[in-house]
Chain A
């Protein structure tokens, strides 16, 4: 408990708080640009942190990456183009809310639950980091294999209307992931002699192609949903967050 109080005293200094706000603005910008990820925001920030005090530097990096992850929801909700890979899973739902005029509510829920999730995760880490580390150390190849299987089956069954089409897209995705040199044998697979394909298909490139380009096709074909209806103001989030919490 003493350590936590001491840490709070170190964090709640004016200069640290100003750094955190600036880092949050930077993360907001980078995360909201589709194709620039939270990792990239952190990588760009790291050289600047060399000139800060340690507490400000760590605060800036943590804030920046957390903010960039949330900010990825902004273009996802408003344009159906996820800003960071982390937002890709629920882009459709958030955009559907915008279409119904609930864009502000969707963004509010994103913000609120990003913040709550981050705080909860930090709290768990503070309390249980050593025991979690013990569990994590016992993870071997078998556990990782089944974890990946669980993730893939969830994506197939939950994510789509038709399970068989979900399976088909899962297989196509796995096939795309085999492109490149990254296999135990080091054999170039499906590169067709193209040097650019040897490193495999980058996640960012795939995401831009799948979400951004398809949204542009929709727009060009006049299929983009009509978003001209008035967005209902969600009001003050802090007065209504109990309701949001119950609803979602």
Chain B
């Protein structure tokens, strides 16, 4: 059984911080354990909100014998979680692009619950994607808790030690959020300069009160375990949701039909990533079936590359169709048919 990088991260946390610090007890499980999939209130490391479970965390610091109402099911529990952490050594394992977003949802449940969520990317060969800082910054603006991105354990040590001093922890978090925002903004200005340019480059179409993010997802990428389609889609979805947190998001997959969504709803009902994609507030998955005004030949062209990898001729065809679709949506010749969305 191969170990992932989680083990290294967990070991380092214990080396640096021990298993109890400043009255906070650490909950962490060895790799291979499945208990992390259980809710925190049931002995695990997963957080949820109103019946929807988010990803599991690697570690959580909690206060013993302090009452906590689990927002997942509103049950009362006598250990109160304070800081939840997801850690990875991915920066040293070739993770330079959107792979960094793929674990974003692991801590998000805790953030929605009002905790301090920490995504720790151990320093490595590659830098942290500045957009990840942006996602976390905006998530902190929108959600009940705060979402922090760190790359060294000293910051975690500070958080744990300041936790009981309201003023100190508040100042520390605000400074951290500001520095995250600065890192994001600096890169954003260089790469995009404006949200309009960002939208153009990132397959996103902006409207006054909603955005449409489109991507060439196919059914097979969700059913084939090797492809991690759910994780990739989820990362992109959260990037769009939090960058445009004041708008509704329609996540459009033009290579798929309602039938594909029905199939995945039926066959992936226990899949955490799929459930988040389907149930995240203010986000709606839509397919080619949910668009009015799509010319018949354009629909045919999208469906001719359904479930085949987007490369060579398929990629060329998809990109050409995508341009026509984008133009149609932008000029409102193609519009979302809200009634047909499943």
Q: Is chain B a partner of chain A in the same complex?
A: no
Interface residues, chain A, CB within 8 Å of chain B?
A: none
